[in-house]
Structures are given as structure tokens and as C-alpha cells.
Homo-oligomer: A and B are copies of this chain.
């Protein structure tokens, strides 16, 4: 029996279009029967935030980061043509017109396809994000977990 192919993606960026690209590639690779891990670090953690405010205690700096960063996939801006929020609206409108999946649906699909969603505990700590604020049924780990999943991977990407 042949070994399973494997794809791992580091999602560092916090933009809607880059997160979309990450999840489209991840879902695509899973459809071709790859084992897939998405390691969410730095601003990429925002894709995993719940959109309601979780009742957690934070220090001042952590509160600031929490307020300044987008609360969940649907709130992210674009990497280009952001234009005070017009870009993401245009993008979402054009996606709707062409029946393309919005980012939150791509994330649900990834969970249904058993893609491992890994949250970087080191940057959670730095940015003051707590498990209660992130989606359920994800995994937690550091760079060691990423390296472990990636060293036999066929496709490795940093987005």
C-alpha cells in the first residue's frame, strides 16, 4: 500500500484573500487524498477566531491586539485593493455571483475533510489569544508540531 501524500501550509498572513488561497489549496489537496495540516501562526490565527467575544481575562497589550485584529475569517481585509473595506465587499459580491465558497465555508469544509487545523501556541501567547476565543475542534502546537508534520510532506507552503 502506497503511503499517503501530504501537504502542509503555514498560514501566517491575516488577509481574506491569502487565507482563501490557503484553504482552497488545502481542500484541493485533501480532495486528491493528501493528509493536510494548516499551521496558523501570527496574523493567520485570526482566521480561527470566533466572531463573538469570549469572556476571557487579558492584560492591556493583549486587549489592544485583540481589538486591533479581525475577529474571525469573515472580518479580514484583502492584501490588495482594500480601499477602506470596499475591496473585500467587491470580492465577496463577485464570489457570490460565481458561486464561490466564502472563507468561513471553506474552513468548515476543511474540518469536514479532516484537515488538521493547528494553532501556534507561541503566537497565541504573544498576541494574547486564548483557546476560548478560537474555533472548536482544532489542535494546538508549536513549531515542533509543524516540523513533525512537514518533514515527509510533498508540498510545503508559507502563505
| Chain A positions near chain B (C-beta within 8 angstroms) | 5, 7, 9-10, 12-14, 17-18, 21, 24-25, 28-29, 31-32, 34, 41-43, 59, 61-62, 64-65, 68-69, 79-81, 90-91, 93-95, 97-98, 100, 122, 125-128, 142-144, 146-148, 150-159
Contacts and interface: CB of A to CB of B under 8 A. Distances in A.
A59 to B, nearest CB: 8
Interface centre among A12, A13, A95, A125 (most CB of B within 10 A): A12
B155 A150 contact: yes
A80 B77 CA distance: 11
Contact of A42 (B21, B127, B157, B158): B21
A68 to B, nearest CB: 6
A61 B97 CA distance: 10
Contact of A151 (B34, B42, B125): B34
Given A150-B154, A152-B154, A122 B97 contact: no
Given A32-B144, A151-B154, A152-B154, 10 more contacts: A9-B158, A12-B18, A17-B42, A21-B158, A28-B143, A61-B94, A68-B81, A150-B154, A155-B156, A156-B157
